[in-house]
Amino acid sequence: MTRVKRGTYIIRSGGEGTGKTSILNQLKVLHPEMVFVREPGHTTFAERIRAVLLEQQDLDLDPLVEAQLFMAVRLDLLQRVVRPALKEGKVVISDRGFPETFALQWWAGRGKKDFDAFRAWIRDLELPLPDLWILLDLDPKIGLARRSAHGQVNRIDQKPLEYHQRVREGFLEIFNKNPFPSKKIDANRPLPELIKIVDRTVTEVITSSNRE
Ligand code: TMP
């Protein structure tokens, strides 16, 4: 897998209802110089496919087909935005990333397929590995209740609780295999506290990358 040489690449992952929108909005205010992207999305092409993947409630896709689609829009975003920004030495914060494709499609959707095969796939595609992966960990029972209280429920949110429990397991599978610098944060805490922890974590990794 290709290491990012310049810039700092941070991916934020986690299940539903972890407060990520508020966290990212606050980070945008605190760090206007950083480049914020979201997956799936951000580029024109990726936003179009996002609408198909998430808003068409009757779409019934094989998890492997779904994985390929998420990966295709990711490659578009990496080529057009992320790699050029990293090359310029910028900090890129990605709201979701390839760990989602592993946890949601590969692990939860395909029936706990091993991380090693997935790792080989992302290596072949030469995906940049994050300098830091932030996992906001939360019991899906709490997360889904929060999410439906906010009224924004996409096609994937509507899957059964057991699916979301497997997603959490999938994220923890990556975390336990420790393939890149990672930080797991318990998201079951008041939002202002969570924002402070995430900001401190981001600032620490940037400071340490600058020292290298
Ligand atoms: P969000 O932007 O509102 O968090 O919604 C994105 C949804 O897409 C969320 O349900 C997670 C899902 N997703 C996947 O299933 N696979 C992926 O690879 C990515 C990036 C997201």
Tens digit of pLDDT for each residue in 172-204? 999 999 999 999 999 999 999 999 999 999 999
Residue 188 is which amino acid? N
- Give the Å distances, CA to CA, from 17 to 9, 28, 76, 179: 23, 19, 27, 26
Q: Cα angle at 14 between 92 and 106, to 5 degrees?
A: 100
Question: Is the predicted pLDDT of residue 5 greater than 60, yes or no?
Answer: no
Kindly report, residue by residue over 71-126, the tens digit of the pLDDT.
999 999 999 999 999 999 999 999 999 999 999 999 999 988 889 999 999 999 99
For residues 40 and 74, is the Cβ–Cβ distance under 8 A? Answer: yes
Atom of ligand 1 nearest to the CA of 156: 10
Predicted local distance difference test score (pLDDT) of residue 2: 47
| Max intra-chain CA distance, the chain | 50
Predicted local distance difference test score (pLDDT) of residue 4: 42
Residue 190 corresponds to which tokens in the numbers above?
């008041």
Kindly report, residue by residue over 13-67, the tens digit of the pLDDT.
999 999 999 999 999 999 999 999 999 999 999 999 999 999 998 999 999 999 9
- Is 8 in a helix, a strand, or coil? strand
- Strands 8-14 and 182-186, bridge-based pairing: unpaired
Kindly report, residue by residue over 140-163, the tens digit of the pLDDT.
999 998 887 777 789 998 899 999
Question: Which protein residue has the closest C-alpha to ligand 1 atom 3?
Answer: 154
Predicted local distance difference test score (pLDDT) of residue 79: 98
Predicted local distance difference test score (pLDDT) of residue 212: 67
Predicted local distance difference test score (pLDDT) of residue 211: 67
Q: Which of 22, 76, 100, 152 to mutate to test the pocket of ligand 1 (most atoms within 8 A of CB)?
A: 100
pTM: 0.95
HSE, side-chain direction, 13 A CA sphere, residue 189:
13
For residues 96 and 50, is the Cβ–Cβ distance under 8 A? Answer: no
- Give the Å distances, CA to CA, from 94 to 11, 30, 58, 166: 5, 16, 28, 23
CA 13 to chain centre: 4
Around ligand 1, the residues with Cβ closer than 6 Å are 38-40, 54, 70, 96, 100-101, 104-105, 154, 156-157
How many Å apart are CA 152 and CA 121, to the nearest integer? 32
Whole-number mean pLDDT of the chain?
93
